[in-house]
Structure 1
Amino acid sequence: MTQALMLSGCWDRNEINDYAFWIGTALDLSENGKLQKSAQIAVPADYKSVKGGGGNNQRANIVLTATGSSIGDLTQQIQDKLPRRVFLGHRRSIFIGEKLARKGLIDVMDQFTRNTDTRLRTDIFVVNNGEGKELLNINSPFNQFSAIVAVEQDRFCRLGDTALRDVLIDAGRDGIRPSMPMVEISPKNQQEKSKIFDVRSVAIFNKHLQMVGEVSGRESLDLFWAKGVLKNQFVTEELEEGSIALYESNLKQSIRTAFDGNKLKAHIILAGTGRVLENNMDIDLSVSSERNRVERRLNAIKAKQVEETIKKLQLKYGQDVIGIGEEFHREHPYRWKELRNRWDQLFPTVEVSVSVKMNIQSTGDIRRRIIGKGERE
């Protein structure tokens, strides 16, 4: 007697062709004050032809936009426009328009903390003087997805690697306030228009997740070094004898806190190693005594610059995005109970000092300049 073997397939499985891959998100404030959400969705057919160099000028993605009152409702509106199920597992970045950032992000962040499809490693940015959806429409020559370009550019521009997870952690603590890198569409010429954007500023938030200001350029690097997230940087310093350009790496930070009566004090120690890239001074840095003298002068200049940046954070914005309050919490847990609810009022009064210990370990392949200043070529 023979028995028939019955095989059944997986009736509820989802094929990869059933998904629409959501690569980037933009959140903005519409003209009527409603929340606007945009999605950068991969278009597999166009991506394949672009990658293969078949001469197709089509974009490898499509940007869809919806307007409403909640993130969940907007996500469903975008889903209604697609013949495939949206999949957030490959989302690389989130862009927040500056208007929305200044209004506040508490309601926006609530959805991110509850949605199990959200990757907490997703990078997050504020768009300086613009809207997030503008970034999704950037057609970069380096990658068909501007959401991925922003992540890679953020790492190489030295402004840290701020993820959604980092913002949520800082927002949930009493002794630090969140900060986010800022992207800006500011083409310097027609060739860069709609193709290039800059990452060079940092947005400052208060405990209500409202953007209150920004720092840019050298100040943004000082902030992230003092915060302990900057790992390397290229800098040029001006001395009386001329300029010197360095590549600084192995950057580290430590903070010590103390009480002087009722006065709060914090001392920030910054350290690292430097490699000379350009020496426009008639100083032979291979000579230990000369190199040590230049190191001391450079460290004093750097310490003053960082102190000025922190003073700006204290007096202009009043927000501790460095985490000095968290150091008071760790070192003085019992006294911190008296400070935690008043930290925004106390932070501007903290006496902050900075010392820098940057050692020049490499001066290049030559000793003195090939041609000294004032000499004939």
Structure 2
Amino acid sequence: MKKICCSVICLMLVLLLTGCWDRNEINDYAFWIGSALDLSDSGKLEKSAQIAIPAEMNISKGGGGKGQRANIVVTATGSSILDLEQKIQDKLPRKVFLGHRRAIFIGEKMARKGLTDVMDQFTRNTDTRMRTDIFVVDNGKGKDVININSPFNPFSAIAAVDQDRFSRLGDTALRDVLLDVGRDGIRPTMPMIKISPKNKQEKHESFDVKSVAIFNKNLQMVGKVSERASLELFWIKGTLKNRFVTEETGQGSISMYESNLKRYVHTEFKNNKLKAHLKLVGTARLLENNTDIDLSVSAERIRLERKINEIKERQVEATIKKIQHKYGQDVFGFGEEFHREHPYYWKKIRNKWDQIFPTLEVSVDVKLKIQSTGDIGKPVPGIGERK
């Protein structure tokens, strides 16, 4: 009797089950991998989308080696981001899906005009991933990047994200930019990507990530710093974790791998004057010694450490002063430190910070410790004699 009752109950439960009447098959989606935002020649907003072609992905999984593309680029022109997304949708036989978007590329012309309207849409659209990486295209258009057929990845948008992480500049996501926009004591920055010209030996285009775009509080790009200054900017900001660097000591060059990079900031308000004390610390591993210094001798190593730290202090001070006097934007976050340490005084100066920052006095102290000098302390015989 119990078996019959259980069977009847199970049958009734089966009748209550329903099918997936509103399911969306994966074949119904067009996967949006990368976005590009530019100004058209007529001054209108132009949006381009890098859309995956699943049928070509297996053929092109080695990148663009055989010339096939695993994606298409669709472009539309209009007056708003949402309007452009709909126009792009109208050109596709599948429903666009933004969940896999990895990167957004903004043309420099548009970045200099301002990105307030663009960011407004990103904050309201629930389909937008906050971990999406964002770039400014150095002296170019965003769609130029997603049009590249990368030899390393079927999608140039993903290749750019990977390259950004290995370029020592870290990775800047949409979330990071929006957080900086919402604070008074720091101004946003974005890594800049530049398409490298091909030479006769190169079949495919590639790109470099070695500059940083500087924005004001209205999200208008006001300038950029490149090469070493861009790395120092992120160290001062506290986001740089490691880097390879070569220093000229006056006796030759020293190449090192610097890691565990951190920054500490202390601020003070005294005699109606604002000051910031910046301390940069880290450890270094010697990779190449092109001097006649014997680093197996402790006194020589300590002397070299002191010399390198003095050089770095001058370089960091020069980078801070350049950004203070040329761009006047606190991309380092000194204002946020004043906010934390002097909250009541900050209320009085927060709206004047752009005028105060260029006059801020910043002291710099670098404490980089050489922990490893390799298997030998002395340089290879003959190097000192070649100087």
Displacement of 1:353: 1.2
- Check the 8 A contact 2:292/2:383 in 1, yes or no: yes
- Check the 8 A contact 1:28/1:100 in 2, yes or no: yes
CA–CA distance in 1 between the matches of 2:65 and 2:280?
51
For 1:219-258, list aligned pairs within 5 A: 219-258=229-268
Note the residue ranges of structure 2 that are not aligned, 5 or more in a row: 1-7
Change beyond 3 A, Cα 1:316–1:368? same
Change beyond 3 A, Cα 1:199–1:168? same
What amino acid maps onto 2:166 in structure 1?
Answer: F
* Structure-1 residue corresponding to 2:5: none
CA–CA distance in 2 between the matches of 1:131 and 1:292?
49
SS of alignment partner, residue 256 of structure 1: strand
CA–CA distance in 1 between the matches of 2:368 and 2:87?
53
What amino acid maps onto 2:328 in structure 1?
Answer: G
Change beyond 3 A, Cα 1:247–1:141? same
**Matching residue within 342, 358, 364 for 1:354:** 364
> TM-score by structure 2 length?
0.94
* Structure-1 residue corresponding to 2:308: 298
Deviations 1:49-75 (A, max 9, x none): 222899964200000000000000000
**Matching residue within 335, 342, 347 for 1:337:** 347
Identity percentage of aligned residues:
73
Displacement of 1:373: 3.3
What amino acid maps onto 1:364 in structure 2?
Answer: G
Kindly indicate whether residue 111 of structure 2 is the aligned counterpart of residue 89 of structure 1: no
* Structure-1 residue corresponding to 2:284: 274
Displacement of 1:237: 0.5
* Structure-2 residue corresponding to 1:107: 117
Kindly indicate whether residue 296 of structure 2 is the aligned counterpart of residue 286 of structure 1: yes
Change beyond 3 A, Cα 1:282–1:59? same
* Structure-1 residue corresponding to 2:3: none
* Structure-1 residue corresponding to 2:188: 178
Change beyond 3 A, Cα 1:96–1:299? same
CA–CA distance in 2 between the matches of 1:154 and 1:187?
18
* Structure-2 residue corresponding to 1:145: 155
CA–CA distance in 2 between the matches of 1:65 and 1:373?
57
CA–CA distance in 2 between the matches of 1:357 and 1:54?
45
CA–CA distance in 2 between the matches of 1:58 and 1:197?
20
CA–CA distance in 2 between the matches of 1:52 and 1:9?
40
- Check the 8 A contact 2:62/2:154 in 1, yes or no: no
- Check the 8 A contact 1:25/1:95 in 2, yes or no: yes
SS of alignment partner, residue 59 of structure 2: helix
Kindly indicate whether residue 52 of structure 2 is the aligned counterpart of residue 25 of structure 1: no
* Structure-2 residue corresponding to 1:203: 213
- Check the 8 A contact 1:231/1:252 in 2, yes or no: yes
Displacement of 1:371: 1.1
SS of alignment partner, residue 58 of structure 2: helix
- Check the 8 A contact 1:187/1:193 in 2, yes or no: no
Displacement of 1:218: 0.6
Kindly indicate whether residue 127 of structure 2 is the aligned counterpart of residue 117 of structure 1: yes
What amino acid maps onto 1:213 in structure 2?
Answer: G
SS of alignment partner, residue 130 of structure 1: coil
What amino acid maps onto 1:165 in structure 2?
Answer: R
Displacement of 1:167: 0.3
CA–CA distance in 2 between the matches of 1:31 and 1:52?
35
Change beyond 3 A, Cα 1:214–1:351? same
Q: How many pairs align? A: 375
Deviations 1:60-105 (A, max 9, x none): 0000000000000000000011111100001000000000000000
Deviations 1:345-366 (A, max 9, x none): 0000100111110000000111
Displacement of 1:193: 6.4
Note the residue ranges of structure 1 that are not aligned, 5 or more in a row: none
CA–CA distance in 1 between the matches of 2:210 and 2:64?
35
SS of alignment partner, residue 180 of structure 1: strand
**Matching residue within 53, 59, 62 for 2:69:** 59
Displacement of 1:114: 0.2
Kindly indicate whether residue 143 of structure 2 is the aligned counterpart of residue 128 of structure 1: no
Deviations 1:275-331 (A, max 9, x none): 011001111112111101000010011011011101011100000000000000000
Displacement of 1:195: 2.2
Deviations 1:189-216 (A, max 9, x none): 2444652100000000000000000000
- Check the 8 A contact 1:25/1:94 in 2, yes or no: yes
SS of alignment partner, residue 246 of structure 2: strand
CA–CA distance in 2 between the matches of 1:319 and 1:51?
43
- Check the 8 A contact 1:230/1:251 in 2, yes or no: yes
What amino acid maps onto 2:266 in structure 1?
Answer: R
* Structure-1 residue corresponding to 2:324: 314
Change beyond 3 A, Cα 1:130–1:190? farther
- Check the 8 A contact 2:64/2:153 in 1, yes or no: no
CA–CA distance in 2 between the matches of 1:94 and 1:159?
17
SS of alignment partner, residue 319 of structure 1: coil
Change beyond 3 A, Cα 1:194–1:209? farther
